[in-house]
Amino acid sequence: MALFNVSKPALLQMDSINNLDSIMRSLYGLKQAPRAWFQCFSSHLEDLGFSPSQADTSLFIYLNGSIRIYLLIYVDDILVTGNDMSHIARLIADLGRRFAMKDLGLANYFLGMEIVQTSDGLFLSQQKYVQDLLLRTKMATAKPVHTPDVSGRRLSLQDGDPLPDPTEYRSVVSVLQYLTLTRPDIAFAVNQVCQFMHQPTSIHWLAIKRILRYLVGTSSHGITYKPGSIILTAYSDADYAGDPDDRHSTSGYCIYIGSNLVSWISKKQRRVSRLRTEAEYCQLAYTAATISWFRKLFRDLCLPLSYLTVLCDNISAYP
């Protein structure tokens, strides 16, 4: 399978003048424009034999015998992949007759992510995104460090002096959040600095600078995806009352399909756990909910899921 990128579709023709006039009014200048555009595009895909995924409304699936085509749409950017190149070409040509579109060929850049397709699989990175961030924050020539965070150290509301203008802090944090899409190695550190958006201090800003210094030496890092077995494995973990201010626990998970990391998160729990076992159970429940979503997605894709495993490092959390 290969990924194809189709960008900037716009309405080209409709069957009736009245319908065209109403859709034009909704597509341009009104608040419901994104919904109207998605409804128009998805209706045409369904006419072509596609069916929307129940797990992800932006994913459309075409199944006809041995032919499988998957189309993913995000606002006005589209990714198409499948196992029949001729059918994909006909699909793109058909969409081109209905909508004003531009076929960008094999996908190599999508929503800030660089895609390198090889015979072995895919490599996703955000190197240009990182470099732009470092230039913007004037950290491109900073001395790199080996870790994005200091081991064993937790940030607190009481650390440092309040920043006179937190605008830059919030802006950089929002960029770092998007960067975690291909960088699970900074997920925990970014989660820490995200908790002080309302009142950042000088110590919190130093924590961001350390993340940026880490990115200086690892800007080309990313994630590699290779073909393999469809076996779902999840790793779940949580600390106990790790936040020094409110004693909430921080938890996370990593989910693999075969040897490929496909989902990860680092997040502070919403409630205070009285026992370490309780904190672990809360995270296991959240991990199980995510796995349930993956199983639903696999059913939509008509992919066989051999079995799944959930691993936790707390013995008392096991039945």
pLDDT digits (tens), the chain, 319 positions? 455 555 544 444 434 334 555 555 555 556 667 777 788 888 888 888 999 999 988 899 999 888 899 999 887 788 888 888 888 888 888 888 888 777 888 888 888 889 888 888 889 999 999 999 999 999 999 999 999 998 888 889 888 899 999 999 999 999 999 999 999 999 999 999 999 999 999 999 999 999 999 999 999 999 999 988 888 999 999 988 888 888 999 999 999 998 999 999 999 998 898 888 889 889 999 999 999 999 999 988 888 777 788 888 877 766 5
* 26 and 47 fall within a common domain: yes
**Position 38, amino acid:** F
- In this structure, is residue 260 part of a structural domain? yes
The beta-strand segments (E) located in the chain are: 4-11, 51-52, 59-64, 67-74, 77-82, 99-106, 109-110, 113-117, 122-125, 222-225, 232-238, 250-257, 260-268, 308-312
* 106 and 11 fall within a common domain: yes
What pLDDT does residue 203 have?
A: 95
The DSSP secondary-structure symbol of 28 reads S
What pLDDT does residue 275 have?
A: 86
- In this structure, is residue 222 part of a structural domain? no
Element (H, E) at 303: none
* 8 and 38 fall within a common domain: yes
Are 317 and 75 spatial neighbours (Cβ–Cβ below 8 Å)? no
d(CA 82, CA 74): 18
Q: Is the sign of the CA dihedral 121, 124, 127, 128 positive or negative?
A: positive
Query: How many domains does the chain fold into?
Result: 3
Beta bridge partners of 264: 254
Number of Cβ within 10 Å of residue 12's Cβ equals 12
- In this structure, is residue 178 part of a structural domain? yes
- In this structure, is residue 116 part of a structural domain? no
What pLDDT does residue 42 have?
A: 86
What pLDDT does residue 132 have?
A: 94
* 142 and 104 fall within a common domain: no
- Supply the DSSP string of 152-195, one letter for each residue: T----TTSS-B-S-THHHHHHHHHHHHHTTT-GGGHHHHHHHHT
- In this structure, is residue 176 part of a structural domain? yes
- In this structure, is residue 151 part of a structural domain? no
Whole-model pTM? 0.83
- Boundary residue ending a domain (217, 252, 275): 217
* 240 and 191 fall within a common domain: no
* 202 and 261 fall within a common domain: no
* 265 and 177 fall within a common domain: no
The half-sphere exposure of 76 on its side-chain side, counting CA atoms within 13 A, is 14
- In this structure, is residue 162 part of a structural domain? no
Q: Show the CA angle centred on residue 32, arms to residues 28 and 36, nearest 5°.
A: 75
Computed over its alpha carbons, how large is the radius of gyration of the chain? Answer: 23
Q: In angstroms, how far is CA 224 from the centroid of its own chain?
A: 15
* 10 and 97 fall within a common domain: yes
- Supply the DSSP string of 46-81, one letter for each residue: HHTT-EE-SS-TTEEEEEETTEEEEEEEETTEEEEE
* 183 and 242 fall within a common domain: no
* Range of the structural domain that residue 298 is part of: 228-317
Q: In angstroms, how far is CA 88 from the centroid of its own chain?
A: 25
In the block, which residue shows the tokens 């009245």? Answer: 18
d(CA 3, CA 78): 10
d(CA 245, CA 240): 13
- In this structure, is residue 210 part of a structural domain? yes
* 210 and 259 fall within a common domain: no
d(CA 314, CA 319): 11
Are 253 and 226 spatial neighbours (Cβ–Cβ below 8 Å)? no
Q: What is the CATH number of the domain that holds 245?
A: 3.30.420.10
Beta bridge partners of 256: 233, 261
